[in-house]
Each structure stands twice: as C-alpha cells, then as structure tokens.
Amino acid sequence: MKSAIYTRINKKALRALAMACALAVPLPCMALAEAIPEATEAPAAANVLDGERESVRTAQRRLIELGLLSGSADGVLGPMTGDALTAYQAQNGLEATGHLDAATLEKLTHVDMDGLTAKDVQQRLIDLGYLQGTADGVIGPKSITALKQFQSLNGLAPNGKAGRDTLEALYAATAIALPDTLSQGSRGESVGRLQRRLAQFGFFEGEADESYGQSTANAVAAFQRHLIAQGHSADEITDDGAASPMTQYCLYADDYSSYLRDVTPGVSDSEALRIERRLVALGYTELPADDVLDEDSVAALALFRSEAGFDTPEVADKATIDALFAKDAPVAEFCVPHAIAKGDGGSVVRDVEEALVRGGMMTKMPTGQYGDAVEKAVDRLYAYLVSQKDPNAPLYADSKALSAEAVERLVDGLLSYRADDADDSEVARRVQSRLYTLLYLDKTGVDGHLGSDSRAALRSFQSANGLKTTGRADGDTMDLLFTTEAKSNPFPYRVEVSIDEQLVRVYALNDQGRYDLEQTFTCSTGLHDSTPRGVFLDGHPVNRWHHFEKFNCWAQYSFEVTGDIMFHSVIYGSDNENSLRSGSLYALGNPASHGCIRLKVEDAKWLYEHCKRGSVAIVIY
C-alpha cells in the first residue's frame, strides 16, 4: 500500500438506486496535500494488476457479490481468487487467464449510475477512506460529513448531496482516496513518513523507525489536539493518538499552516516547545527544547529569520512560524554560540575546535568533545592574546569554560587577522601549527622557529594557494593561512588512521580538488597507545617481506610511516605465506601490535602499490 494520501484505481460494481442526502455545513479542511501524488493512470488493457492490492480487493468484492468467490476481500490474488477470475472471464467473453488485467477490472467495476443505492455509496466512501464502519444504507450525519469531505478534496462543492457530478467523481478512477488508519502496532514506510512529517511540525522527537509505538501515538495525539485548537470539529478529528485518514490528510496538506498564535519570549507556551524542537532539527541550536523561548532560543530564531530573509522581531509571528515549519526551511550553516565547559560535547564545541585548529592553536583533529586538547589550546590562545596585547584575552583566561561571547568571538574569526611579526616565537608556532594541520609540515616541524623546513612548507602553501612563493609569512600569506579558504596540501592520497575505531580510511584527490573515500581497512594499532599520533608526510613503501628481528617475525608489504612505525600485513613466522600466525589475523579490529599498523594482506598490498613516496599524507589520531 502506498503511504499517506494517494489515488487509487478502485472501481466497485454496485447495484441499484441513487442516494439523496441533506445539505450540511461545508468541511473546513485545507487544500489538497503535498502528500497526494499525481493520479495514477488507468492501466493499458494488457497490463496485469495481480500485485496492485487495492485493485485486487475491488475485484474480490465484486466476485463475492456475484457468488463466484467466498471469504473476504484481502487484496491478495491467491488460487481461489484466480479460479473465480477464470470463471468470470469465461462467462463474459474475456481471455480466461485467471489474472486480473485492466479489461477484466473495467468490466467487473462498471457502474450503473442510475441504479446506485445509499448503501452502495456508503461502501464506496468506506473504500476511499472517508467513512468508517459498515455500509448500512442509513444516511446519517457521519455519512453526510464523509460525502462533504470527499467533495471538498475532489474539487466539488461540499454540499453533502450525491448529485450526478458527485457520483461520477466518486466512482472515477481518479477519485482521491484517503490512506488507511495507522495506529499502535502499525509498521512500514507509511509510519516512517508519518513520523518524519510530525517531526517537521515539532510534534515528534526521535528516530523515524517506521514503528508506531507510544511516542508516535503521543505525537499524533498532540497534533490532533493542535488541529482541534485550530478549529476542527470532533466529527473530523479525535485526539485518540490513532492517525485517522482525516488526521493524515490535514498533516500532509501542502498548504497546511501550523500557526496557532504568536509566541513571545519568556512566556510559558506549549508552542515554544514546537519552535525550539524545529530550531534544533534545523541546526540553529543544540540546547534542549522546553516550553519557553529563552535568550538562546531567541538568538537561534533570529538567525533563522535572517537565513529565511526576514527582519528579526523577537515575537514568533505567523510568517516566522510558517517559514520555520516549511518543508524547505533553510538549514543552519552553524549553530548559535552558547556557553560551553570542559566535558561538554556537540556542534558548538566542534565549531570551537575547528576555530582553534584554523587559528593555529590546536593540532588535534576535532572530535566535538571539550577535553584536555581543547583546554590546552585555550590556554595557548590566552597566552598568545596576552603576548599580542589583544583586548579579548580576558575572555579566555579560564580554559575550562567559555562564555557565549568568547565562543562567538572565536568562531567569528578572532584568529583570522594578520599577525605582523612572524619572527615572534608564538606567532611562528601558530603559523607552523596551521601549516601542520593543512598537511604542509610534519609532526616534528612545530618548534616555534621558522627554519628551512617551515619556509619550504610556506612555499608549498603559497604555490598551492596561488600566492607569490616567497617562503616568508608575509601579509598576503597570513591573511589567507588562518581562514577556511586556505587549501590543504594536495597530496594524491590522504590516509587517516582512527585508533579509537581501529580503521584506516584512504581518500583520493578528485579532479575538483576534493577528497573521495577510496578504501576502508580494518587494522590493529599498537597496544598501550604505542602508535604515534600526528601528521606524517614522508610515508613510502619499504619491502615486499619485512623481517622484525627484535620480535622474530615477518610481515608482507611494509610501508614506512615514520622510523620503525609501519603499515604492514598480519604476522608470519617466516617469509613464507604458509607460516601465517593466525592470532594476528583474528586480532584485527583491536590493538595488538608493538606500534605498527597491521592490515589484511590485500589491504597492505593496496597501500604498498598505490601510495608512493611523496604521494601520501598520513594522519593518525
């Protein structure tokens, strides 16, 4: 079954008599949903419809009425349905295939508009999802409401009367059908889609797992109460937590506005919870949502309004709310800064880490965790700002915590200005750290003195970035070096080793100057953190078989990282493939070596054959 609102080809053969219905109040429901796909075209005569559950169910109902089939219409074309179809086709001059094709369905579902009964029309409304229960032929308020709903959604005047135009639309192949009710226990894509749409409007939190549990039922009930608060009647919506056809129709309506009222900062309001959830989902804030628009949420909302092209009043008005909950609402480029402290994690911490790396204060790869490396980097930042007599220095005096202002200044480019005195040891170390993280300088090069290695790295940076290759930290170089526009050293390959994950990832430089993931290898790094971390730029193949004399073992395809630290295969007792020490193979995925990085033979061979000296930057973290 297709998820959400959809169009069914579902003609039902019905007999005798037209229905008369009384005029009732028109249904106050929104225009047709974005969830309604284009109407499905009627199939060509030769098309077999055996797998189209609604078409099969329609045919089964007619076959049961004709006495050719017993049981219920389950939408599955089994042997009994096939036999009934064969009999019907033989009786009506059709090819007796036992399959449901378009010609058979057309003949089965031909409707005599002049002979419809009230019961027939009720059944059709049930089939299309507008009416619940069984067809009893008694036209009461529920039947009239269902007919008006059908008329409203199918472009007819919602007068509750079954005139000729309404009957023709009701039995047309293009009649818009509402989806089946979803409730606790339901599973599948239709549930996942429901969860994603509820999350879009701030009613559902968590993963869209395609399972209708209590949290989904609570979200549906909250949405239903929201609809009732917007003016929907009890005949249309009940807050029972089951996603009825009308609940889904309103949820998926393309022009549905979830606006209920303006939300003012500092005032407790259930609508604030929805707003904050949406701001979190779009990446404007990462602070937990509650029922008050506090200072941080107001800042996040202001950033959203700026991204959406609005002015920035503090009140969340209708225009803001409609834009915020729109399907194409702009996603944040960055999270609004807030105060952070050691032990915290999240995107703001990562933004701070990236700013520290970009500014030459930290060389450790960002992890999104405020740990020892961030604390040390903030200490360095504070000392550096003091040495430069920067008035921002007091903001960073406490390296264990940063205020929202300190975060904002740092992320907004505190360290991107040009430093004039490159011979200053603190400035030199900052330059070297940045060259190191951009892969122009290896681990041993950060010493606070711009010597020959540093000047060679500067020339390489200048060349790769279209600058005059002076080998000096001149103004143009410094202006670019500490920005996001600075290009890293374009090695053909970048090999990253994650000690925590015990994985090696190989990236290859593409024609657009970006790196694509080429290979992923499981590895074993050193026991007791004996594999050195950092950037290494002189990696190269060594030999096909390598003897580790100290440990009396051999390995294939050795590739030097630095000194006696190598990539190589699993371990052998001799330079013979039959002497494999199987324990080293089983240990892959866990630290097991004396510092080297062990790989499967085929993975070590790939590195050995593809990554020549000067073609690879190795980053171990």
Residues 86-103 pLDDT 10s: 999 999 999 999 999 988
| Section 458-470 average pLDDT | 96
Residue 564 reports pLDDT greater than 70? yes
pLDDT of residue 361: 95
Counting every residue written for the chain, the total comes to 621
Let me know: does 621 contact 437? Beta carbons within 8 Å.
Answer: no
Residue 387 has pLDDT above 60, yes or no: yes
Angle between helices 452-464 and 425-437 (to 10 degrees): 50
- How does residue 106 score in pLDDT terms, banded at 50, 70 and 90? confident
Whether 409 has a pLDDT exceeding 90, the answer reads yes
Give pLDDT, residue 17.
Answer: 26
Quote the CA–CA distance of 604 and 459 in Å, as a whole number: 33
Asked if 236 contacts 27 with a C-beta cutoff of 8 angstroms, the reply is yes
Q: State the average pLDDT over residues 337-344.
A: 96
Domains of the chain (ranges, CATH numbers): 6-177 (no CATH), 189-252 (1.10.101), 337-415 (1.10.101.10), 420-488 (1.10.101), 493-620 (2.40.440.10)
206 alpha carbon, distance to own chain's centre: 12
CA-to-CA dists, residue 118 to 18, 66, 138, 140, angstroms: 6, 19, 7, 11
pLDDT greater than 90 at residue 28 = no
* pLDDT the model gives residue 245: 86
The pTM score is 0.64
3-state SS string for 519-542: EEEECECEHHHCCCCEEECCCEEE
Residue 479: band (very low, low, confident or very high) from pLDDT cuts 50, 70, 90:
very high
Can you give the pLDDT at residue 45? 40
| Average pLDDT rounded to a whole number, residues 565-593 | 96
Distance CA 510, CA 221 (A): 50
Exposed/middle/buried for residue 138 (C-beta within 10 Å: 0-12, 13-18, 19+): exposed
- Residue 2 pLDDT > 50, yes or no? no
Give the whole-angstrom CA distance, residue 27 versus residue 33. 15
Within 13 Å and on the Cβ side, how many CA atoms surround 174?
Answer: 9
Region 303-330: mean pLDDT is 90
Average pLDDT, the chain: 87
* 263-301 residue pLDDT tens: 999 988 889 999 999 999 999 999 999 989 998 999 999
Average pLDDT over residues 551-566: 96
Give the pLDDT confidence score for residue 545 in this predicted structure: 97
CB 550 within 8 A of CB 593: no
**Range 256-267 burial, b when 16+ CB lie within 10 A, else e:** bebbbeebebee
Q: Give me the pLDDT at residue 416, please.
A: 85
Q: Containing H/E element for 349?
A: helix 347-358
- Which residues, at least 6 apart from 583, have a Cβ–Cβ distance to it below 8 Å? none
Secondary structure letter of residue 242 according to DSSP: -
Q: Which of 106, 98, 15 is nearest to 58 (CA)?
A: 106
Quick one: angle between helices 295-308 and 270-281, nearest 10?
A: 60
Q: What is the pLDDT of residue 418?
A: 61
Band the pLDDT of 174: cuts 50, 70, 90.
Answer: confident
173-187, 352-366, 386-400: the lowest-pLDDT one: 173-187
Confidence of residue 179 (pLDDT cuts 50, 70, 90): confident
Res 62: pLDDT:
79
Query: Amino acid letter at 427?
Result: V
Q: What would the pLDDT profile of 234-263 be if each residue is shown by its tens digit?
A: 777 899 999 998 899 899 988 899 999 999
Q: How many Å is the Cα radius of gyration of the chain?
A: 34
The pLDDT of residue 481 is: 95
- How distant, in Å, are the alpha carbons of 156, 338, 394, 482 from that of 407? 58, 7, 13, 17
- The answer to whether residue 44 scores a pLDDT higher than 70 is no
Phi, psi (deg, nearest 5) at residue 519: -145, 150
pLDDT on residue 419: 58
- Which region among 149-158, 343-352, 592-601 has the lowest average model confidence (pLDDT)? 149-158
Mean pLDDT, rounded, for 595-609: 98
Going across the sheet that includes 616-620, the strands are 515-522, 503-509, 493-498, 616-620, 534-536
What confidence score (pLDDT) does residue 47 get? 66
Distance CA 594, CA 591 (A): 9
Query: What single-letter amino acid sits at 401?
Result: A
pLDDT reported for residue 277: 96
Choose between 49 and 213: higher pLDDT: 213
Q: Cα 379 to chain center, whole Å?
A: 36
Quote the pLDDT of residue 312. 65
> Quick check: 601 pLDDT over 90?
yes
Per DSSP, what are the bridge partners of residue 562?
Answer: 565
Q: Is the pLDDT of residue 119 over 80?
A: yes
Does 10 have pLDDT greater than 50? no
The whole-number average pLDDT for the span 464-480 is 94
pLDDT given for residue 153 in this prediction: 82
16-20, 192-196, 313-317, 542-546: segment of lowest average pLDDT: 16-20
